[in-house]
Amino acid sequence: MPEQEPAFETAWAQSMYEFNNYMRAQFAGRWLWIPNAGSWTTTRDTTNEYTNVDGVMIEDFADYSNEKFLYPGDWVTQMDRALSITTLDKILIAQSYPSASGGAFYERQEILASYLLVKGKHTYLNLAAKGEADPGGLTLQWWPDYEINPGPPTDPRPATTTSRSTGMRTGKSLSAAIKTGLFW
């Protein structure tokens, strides 16, 4: 990609905003418009204006797949952007691709903990496991985690993760940090 050019980036963000307006007009209230924002971790993508959509889908939510956790800065960027959607009471589809191996429990727990951090009224988590026999394909999975009842939230959803992420992902998993009260 070429070096970042502010004029181009601003024009690109504006064209994305206009495209979202166009798509929503085409649907005319018959369907919801929920664009795929990708992993939404890059600072190059300044398309943070999603007030004109019904929701957003984030791929690689909290995890790059197959036990490859997001870098701490990418995690904070993604969670803050996810919070910007749930704070507007819009739909958030958090799509993640955990490893299909039996040892991926902590990976799924980190994804689940991230989901609980940003969860709003219309937030959904989908764990689509990458296939071991076919690394490019998906495999059907049932996770024992589906039966965990985390209970209701004990505190309000934070406005950003920045103030809550001190010490995160430095030797402690996100789920361990939540259990020990590092967030709240």
Residue 182's pLDDT band (cuts 50, 70, 90): very low
- Global pTM reads 0.79
For 19-68, write each residue's pLDDT tens digit.
Answer: 999 999 999 889 999 999 988 887 766 666 788 899 999 999 998 877 77
What would the mean pLDDT of 124-150 be, rounded to a whole number?
72
In order of 34, 62, 132, the CA distances from 71 in angstroms are: 26, 9, 24
Backbone torsion region of residue 123, taken as left when φ is above 0, otherwise alpha when ψ lies between -120 and 50, otherwise beta: beta
Average pLDDT, the chain: 79
What residue segments make up the domains of the chain, in order of their start?
Answer: 6-179
